[in-house]
């Protein structure tokens, strides 16, 4: 099946009992048995499994061209599950431009569990390979990255990781499976904050991990079941609803973001724009090869005049909401140094490529003329 058909049908077949074309919300916490130890229909207890969650896991695995999907209560719960594959004394190598929550998680693992980590510039494959150690178990990356919109060569990094007996983990939240399927490029595990483009309506919190490896799946499922960071049936249902329109929404996100990025690139009060769809993006050619259908709905810009002017832009918009998160129908604007990446020091942010004048924009589904007009008016007052 092609993507649009999978988005609507994979895991979302009509209910065999009632014929409902929408997956039911199974709210039960436990399931009756006919005899001791004999499950009636394969379900026992909702932490271990739920029909609505199973439908979501099947759906997102199909979208990523994977075999096994696991749904979690948040993107960070999914990340924590994946880090359970690493033991004390072992090592995680991460790209230097990474989500602030992941940065905090890796720091916590080192302080609490003696799981080491380090960072490298993944656009420099030699630097990446030199940063690997005999203890490296996971190579962790985002592409495009949050919030710097750096694009890295997933296939080349997968080859390097595997030559060093490490697994490649790709956070695919910014791209969504409509634009990019990292498992096809050699990744071992794909992560999502389903809160973002998968859900698409800013009304749920969730996460997911997808793999083709049955052993990895079993290990991650054991963690999911033992630690219990699972989403509610209602959040799973909301995610399934979002998936049904993912391909249509992503087309509009890409179209609107390109229009906004082109406007900002030409504006005299904007110092620089990072959007993979612009020829000026350092990895534009790689993005054209690695991504399909478009380049996403996320933009990073540097505002002339420094931090104060960047903050005034964020606070001056009316159509763009000043808020955390991304990937919803509504457009959002944020200031990473004091929002998504506030847990980093100024020195850490500078090394990661997050200057004090950076603004992150999640372009939504409103009329693009209104989005451009809103940014123009806000910039006029900066």
Domains of the chain: 3-244 (3.40.640.10), 246-380 (3.90.1150.10)
Q: Which residue has the tokens 């379900």?
A: 43
**Backbone φ, ψ for residue 265 (5° rounding):** -65, -25
Check pLDDT > 90 for residue 16: no
**pLDDT on residue 304:** 98
215 Cβ contact list (under 8 Å, min separation 6): none
Choose the catalytic residue: 26, 99, 217, 335: 99
- The confidence band for 351, taking pLDDT boundaries of 50, 70 and 90, is confident
**pLDDT on residue 343:** 79
Reading the block at residue 326, the tokens are: 């991304």
Is 113 an active-site residue? no
Q: Distance (Å, rounded) from C-alpha 330 to C-alpha 281?
A: 25
E strand or H helix at 106: helix 100-113
Task: List the one residue out of 220, 201, 212, 124 whose CA is nearest residue 365.
Answer: 201
Is 335 an active-site residue? no
Choose the catalytic residue: 6, 53, 137, 196: 196
Is 58 an active-site residue? no
Check pLDDT > 90 for residue 35: no
pLDDT digits (tens, 9 = 90+) for 258-283: 999 999 999 999 999 999 999 999 99
pLDDT digits (tens, 9 = 90+) for 173-229: 999 999 999 999 999 999 999 999 999 999 999 999 999 999 999 999 999 999 999
Check pLDDT > 90 for residue 38: no
Choose the catalytic residue: 171, 188, 235, 374: 171
- pTM of the complete model: 0.96
Is 171 an active-site residue? yes
Handedness of CA 335, 336, 342, 348 (dihedral sign): negative
Q: Distance (Å, rounded) from C-alpha 307 to C-alpha 305?
A: 7
Q: Distance (Å, rounded) from C-alpha 338 to C-alpha 334?
A: 9
Reading the block at residue 248, the tokens are: 């249509």
> Crossing angle, helix 368-380 and helix 246-265, to 10 degrees?
40
Q: Distance (Å, rounded) from C-alpha 192 to C-alpha 210?
A: 9
Q: Which residue has the tokens 């230097």?
A: 96
Reading the block at residue 239, the tokens are: 């995610």
Residue 231, phi-psi category: left (phi > 0), alpha (psi -120 to 50), beta (remainder): beta
**Backbone φ, ψ for residue 340 (5° rounding):** -65, -25
Q: Distance (Å, rounded) from C-alpha 264 to C-alpha 34?
A: 64
Task: List the one residue out of 365, 58, 41, 381 whose CA is nearest residue 201.
Answer: 365
- The confidence band for 344, taking pLDDT boundaries of 50, 70 and 90, is confident
**pLDDT on residue 32:** 92
What number is the average pLDDT over the span 151-156? 98
Check pLDDT > 90 for residue 42: no
What does each C-alpha distance from 230 to 70, 208, 252 come to in angstroms?
9, 10, 31
């Amino acid at each position: 099946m092609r993507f649009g058909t999978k988005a609507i049908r994979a895991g979302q077949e009509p209910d065999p009992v009632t014929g409902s074309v929408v997956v039911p919300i199974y709210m039960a916490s436990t399931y009756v048995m006919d005899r001791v130890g004999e499950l009636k229909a394969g379900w026992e207890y909702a932490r271990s499994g739920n029909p609505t969650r199973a439908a979501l896991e099947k759906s997102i695995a199909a979208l990523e061209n994977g075999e096994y999907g696991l749904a979690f209560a948040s993107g960070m719960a999914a990340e924590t599950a994946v880090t359970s594959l690493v033991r004390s004394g072992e090592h995680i190598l991460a790209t230097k431009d990474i989500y602030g929550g992941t940065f905090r998680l890796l720091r916590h693992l080192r302080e609490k569990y003696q799981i080491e980590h380090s960072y490298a510039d993944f656009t420099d494959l030699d630097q990446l390979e030199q940063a690997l150690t005999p203890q490296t178990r996971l190579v962790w990356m985002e592409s495009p990255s949050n919030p710097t919109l750096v694009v890295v060569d997933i296939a080349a990094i997968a080859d390097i990781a595997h030559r060093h007996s490490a697994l490649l983990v790709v956070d695919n939240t910014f791209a969504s499976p409509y634009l990019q399927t990292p498992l096809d490029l050699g990744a071992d595990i794909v992560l999502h904050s389903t809160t973002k483009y998968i859900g698409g309506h800013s009304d749920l919190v969730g996460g997911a991990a997808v793999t083709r490896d049955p052993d990895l799946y079993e290990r991650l499922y054991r963690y999911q079941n033992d630690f219990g960071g699972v989403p509610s049936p209602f959040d799973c249902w909301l995610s399934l609803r979002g998936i049904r329109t993912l391909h249509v929404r992503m087309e509009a996100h890409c179209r609107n973001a390109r229009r906004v990025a082109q406007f900002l690139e030409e504006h005299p009060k904007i110092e620089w724009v990072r959007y993979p769809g612009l020829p000026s993006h350092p990895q534009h050619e790689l993005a054209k090869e690695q991504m399909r259908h478009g380049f996403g709905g996320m933009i990073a810009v540097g505002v002339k005049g420094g931090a104060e002017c960047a903050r005034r832009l964020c606070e001056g918009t009316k159509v763009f909401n000043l808020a955390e998160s991304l990937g919803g129908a509504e457009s959002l604007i944020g200031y990473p140094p004091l929002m998504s990446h506030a847990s980093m020091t100024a020195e850490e942010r500078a090394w990661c490529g997050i200057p004090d004048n950076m603004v992150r924009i999640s372009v939504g589904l409103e009329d693009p003329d209104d989005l451009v007009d809103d940014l123009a008016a806000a910039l006029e007052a900066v």
